Amino acid sequence: MFNLSKKILITLAVAFALLSLSSFSYADAKQDLVEARQETQIWTTYALSPYLRAHEITVDVDNGKATLSGKVDEDVNKELAKQIALGVSGIKDVDNKIVVQADYVPKALNQTYGQVIDDATVTAAVKSRLAWSKYVDGGAVHVETKAGRVTLTGEVANTETKESVKHLAIGTRGVVSVTNQLTVNNKSTSPQSTQVFTDGWITTKAKSSFFYSSNVSGSDIDVDTVNGVVTLKGKVASGAERALAVELVQNLRGVKSVNAKDLSF
| In a domain? residue 212 | yes
Q: Do 94 and 120 lie in a common domain? A: no
Q: Do 43 and 69 lie in a common domain? A: yes
At 257 the pLDDT is 96
| In a domain? residue 190 | no
Q: Do 156 and 246 lie in a common domain? A: no
Q: Give the closest residue to 236 by CA, choosing from 228, 248, 226.
A: 248
Q: Do 18 and 94 lie in a common domain? A: yes
| In a domain? residue 141 | yes
At 205 the pLDDT is 94
Q: Do 57 and 138 lie in a common domain? A: no
Q: Do 174 and 246 lie in a common domain? A: no
| In a domain? residue 193 | no
Burial string for 46-67 (b: 16+ CB within 10 Å, else e) reads bbbbeebbbbbbbbbbeeeebb
Q: Do 93 and 10 lie in a common domain? A: yes
Q: How many domains does the chain have?
A: 3
Q: Do 6 and 94 lie in a common domain? A: yes
| In a domain? residue 36 | yes
Which residues have a Cβ under 8 Å from the Cβ of 32 and sit 6 or more positions away? 7, 11, 14
At 5 the pLDDT is 57
What is the full per-residue pLDDT of the chain (265 aa) written as tens digits?
A: 455 555 555 555 655 555 555 555 666 667 888 888 899 899 888 877 877 877 788 999 999 999 999 988 888 889 999 999 999 999 999 999 999 988 877 765 555 667 788 888 899 999 999 999 988 876 789 999 998 899 999 988 889 999 999 999 999 988 989 999 999 987 656 565 567 789 999 999 999 999 899 888 877 899 999 999 999 999 998 999 999 999 999 999 999 999 999 999 8
Query: Given 143, 158, 184, which residue is the final one in a domain?
Result: 184
Domain hosting 242: range is 199-264
| In a domain? residue 20 | yes
At 124 the pLDDT is 92
At 8 the pLDDT is 56
At 263 the pLDDT is 93
At 215 the pLDDT is 87
CATH number at residue 57: 3.30.1340.30
**What DSSP string runs through 112-166?**
-HHHHHHHHHHHHHHHHHHHHBSS--GGGEEEEEETTEEEEEEEESSHHHHHHHH
Q: Do 87 and 144 lie in a common domain? A: no
CATH number at residue 233: 3.30.1340
How much is the pTM? 0.61
Query: Given 70, 100, 130, which residue is the final one in a domain?
Result: 100
| In a domain? residue 191 | no
Q: Do 6 and 74 lie in a common domain? A: yes
Q: Do 260 and 170 lie in a common domain? A: no
Q: Do 40 and 86 lie in a common domain? A: yes
| In a domain? residue 65 | yes
- Residue 255 in contact with residue 231, Cβ under 8 Å? no
Query: Given 73, 100, 127, which residue is the final one in a domain?
Result: 100
Q: For the purposes of burial, counting CB atoms within 10 Å of the CB of 7, is it exposed (0-12), middle (13-18) or buried (19 or more)?
A: middle
